Amino acid sequence: MIAAGQFSTAGIKSQNDDACGILVPKDGTLFTKGVVAVVADGVSSSEAGREAAEACVRGYISDYFSAPDSWTVKTASHRILGALNRWLYGTAQRAYRCDRALLTTLSIAVFKGGLAHVFHVGDTRVYRWRNGTLECLTRDHMIALRGDKPVLARAMGADVNIEIDYRTASVEAGDVFLLTTDGVYQWLPDGLLSAQIALHRDNLERGARAIVELAQARGSDDNLTCQLLRIDEVPKVDEESFYRRLAKLPFPPPLEPGMVLDGYRIVREMHASRRTQVYLAVDTRTDKHVVLKTPSVNYADDPRYIDRFLHEEWVGRRIDNVHVAKIVPADGPRQCLYYVMEHVNGQTLRQWMNDHPAAPLSQVRPIVEQLAKGLRAFHRLDMVHQDIKPENVLIDLDGTVKIVDFGSTKIAGLEETPSPERNEDPLATMGYAAPELFLDSPCTNRSDGYALGVIAYEMLTGKLPYGGALSRKAARSATYIPARTHVESIPPWVDGALRKAVQLSYDRRYESSSEFIYDLSHPNPAFMQQGSVPLLEANPIRFWKMVCLVLLAINVATWLFVSWR
C-alpha cells in the first residue's frame, strides 16, 4: 500500500540533532492504526535538542501504536503529544539549567483510511507531491523580531502547554509525501524538490539520499533529514474478501442442554430472538458459569450482521470496568462463530423496574450513578454505546449494575477506516434513542447521556419524558412532560435535572454524565423555582383547567351580554 525511504545526516555539523522514523505495520494494525512517519529537528541553541528530538520520535511511534484502537488518530495524537510535551518541559525545569532545555520541532503524518493526518509544531515540513505539483501542508511557526533573523515561535518542550497544528489531506494512488527539516528545504526550492521526487519516485531510499546530498552540495550548513512515502494503493476493503474473512467460521447449530462446544457445556437457553441466541453454559476447565452468545442462522449470508456480531466482542474485550460485562477471552481455537461473556447472576433493569414501579429517588440514584460510570468507560475510549435501555442493563445479586450488548457501539477510531459492511442506519431502540441518532446529526457522548436521562425519568415515574417513543417529526418539536406531573413528590430540582438530560437538542444537554449525577444529588439553584418553567410544561393539567375556566367565563359573559341586549 505504501512504500517508504528516509535518510538523515549531520551534514557539516559535528552532531545530528535531527531524528526521524517510519513504521509500516505488517499485521492487522495496518487497518486500525495506519502508517506513521515522524521527523523532528532538535533546537540547536540548547545542548539537549538531540535528546528531545529522539524522545519525540520514539515516544510518539511507541505510544501511538499502544493507544486504544478505538481512539481516532486526532484523539490519540493530541493526548500523546500533550504528554510528551509536558515530559520535555518538566524534565528541563527539574534540571534548573536553561542550556538543558529539551526543545524540538516536530512533524507527523499518519496515513489511515484514505487520509493523511498531519500534526505539526515548529519549522519542519510536510509536503504532498501529486502529478508533478508540490504542495506544503504545514505552516512554519516562525516570528521576525525587528528585522532580525526569524526565530521559532513554537516548539515541543517550550511551555507546559503546546498548540498542535492539525489538518487532514486527501490521498490518491501515486501521491508522494515528503517530510523534511529546514536543512533541506531552505536550500532547495519547490521546483527542484519536485523534480527530485519525480526522478526518484521508484526508489525512495535513493531519492531521500539524493535530495539530502543535493541540499549539501548547494551549501546547507545544518543537519539534513528527508523522508519519502509513496502511496501505491489507497486503502480499500473488497467486500467479498472481507466477508470471506468474517465468515471463515461456520454458524453454530442450535445448542441443546448437555451439548459441549469447545469446552463449554450448555445448561439452558436464556434468551432467543430473531438475531441471536444466548445460552447459560459451564466452562468445563474452570467449572464456572458463563454466557455464550451465538448468531442467528437467519443472517448467515449477511456480512454486515456478521461484522456487527464480531464488533460486540471487539468492544467488550477492550473495556475493563466493573460496570461493563466482561468478555471471556477464547482459550483456544473455535469450531464456530460465537463469543463468551461473564455470567451475571441477577436480573435486567427492566425486571427491576417492573418490581419497583415509580421507585423513590434513594433507590434510583445508586443505579443511575453506576450506569453513568459504565458509560464513562466507553466514552474514555472514544466509544458511544448508542443502545442504552433497561433491557441492556443487568443488576446482580449484590446490586452491581453492568452494561451489556455492544453491537450498536460507535467506535470513533474505526469510523476513520473504509469498510463496506458499515451500516449507517441507527440501531438504537426508539424511546431511548437520542433524536440525533435518526436525524442525521452527530452522535456524541451526550447521546448516551440522553438515554441515561430517559431511564432515570422512567425509573422515577414509570413513564417516558415525551409520552412515548419519538417519531422523526416529533423529535424536533416534542414537549417535555414534567416528572412532577406523574409523581408530585419529585423535587423541582430533580425534575430540572431530568429535563436538561433529555433535551431534544444535544448541545443543551449535560456535557458529561457526571454533571447529571451531581445535579441528581445536589439541588441546583437554577432548577429550584418551578415558576421558571412555563405552566404548560410544569403542570399541563392545571394549565388546561385554567384555559377551560377562561373559555367558560368568556362563553358566560357572551351569553349574558346577548341576553341583556
Task: Tell me the C-alpha distance between 129 and 124, whole Å.
Answer: 17
Where does 62-220 show beta strands of DSSP type E?
104-112, 115-121, 125-130, 133-136, 142-143, 151-152, 165-170, 176-180
- pLDDT tens across 463-522, in order? 999 998 887 777 778 899 999 999 999 999 999 999 999 999 989 999 999 999 999 999
Q: What is the 3-state secondary structure (H, E, C) of 507-562?
A: HHCCCCHHHHHHHHHCCCHHHCCHHHCCHHHHCHHHHHHHHHHHHHHHHHHHHHHH
Which phi and psi (to 5°) does residue 57 adopt?
-65, -50
Q: Does domain 346-533 have CATH number 3.40.50.720?
A: no
**At 203, is the secondary structure helix, strand, or coil?**
coil
Query: Can you give the pLDDT at residue 491?
Result: 93
Kindly give, in sequence order, each residue whose CB lies less than 8 Å from that of residue 447, ignoring residues fewer than 6 positions away.
384, 386, 433, 434, 436, 437, 506
Secondary structure letter of residue 156 according to DSSP = B
Q: Residue 343: pLDDT above 80?
A: yes
User: 419 with 338: CB under 8 angstroms?
Assistant: no
Task: Tell me the C-alpha distance between 218 and 187, whole Å.
Answer: 6
- pLDDT tens across 353-405, in order? 999 999 999 999 999 999 999 999 999 988 999 999 999 999 999 999 999 98
Query: Can you give the pLDDT at residue 264?
Result: 94
Query: Can you give the pLDDT at residue 424?
Result: 52
For the domain made up of 2-236, give the CATH fold.
Phosphatase 2c; domain 1 (3.60.40)
User: 478 with 504: CB under 8 angstroms?
Assistant: yes
Task: Tell me the C-alpha distance between 239 and 228, whole Å.
Answer: 31
Kindly give, in sequence order, each residue whose CB lies less than 8 Å from that of residue 146, ignoring residues fewer than 6 positions away.
none
Task: Tell me the C-alpha distance between 540 and 113, whole Å.
Answer: 52
Number of other CB atoms surrounding residue 171 within 10 Å: 20
Pick 241-342's CATH classification: 3.30.200.20, 3.30.830.10, 3.40.50.300, 3.30.420.130. 3.30.200.20
Q: Provide the pairing of β-strand 260-261 with 142-143.
A: unpaired
Task: Tell me the C-alpha distance between 124 and 20, whole Å.
Answer: 11
Find cell 517508504 and name the residue.
4
pTM for this prediction: 0.71
Q: Which amino acid is at 26?
A: K
Query: Can you give the pLDDT at residue 217?
Result: 95
Cell digits for 473?
417529526
> Which of 125-134, 269-278, 416-425 is least confident?
416-425
Task: Tell me the C-alpha distance between 512 and 379, whole Å.
Answer: 10
Nearest to 92 by CA among 44, 151, 141, 52: 52
- pLDDT tens across 147-188, in order? 667 888 999 999 999 999 999 999 999 999 999 999 999 999
- pLDDT tens across 10-30, in order? 999 999 999 999 999 887 678
Nearest to 360 by CA among 483, 518, 515: 483
With pLDDT > 90 as the criterion, what percentage of the chain qualifies?
63
Listed by start position, the domains of the chain span 2-236, 241-342, 346-533
CA atoms within 13 A on the CB side of 236: 9
Task: Tell me the C-alpha distance between 99 and 93, whole Å.
Answer: 11
Tell me the Cα Rg of the chain: 30
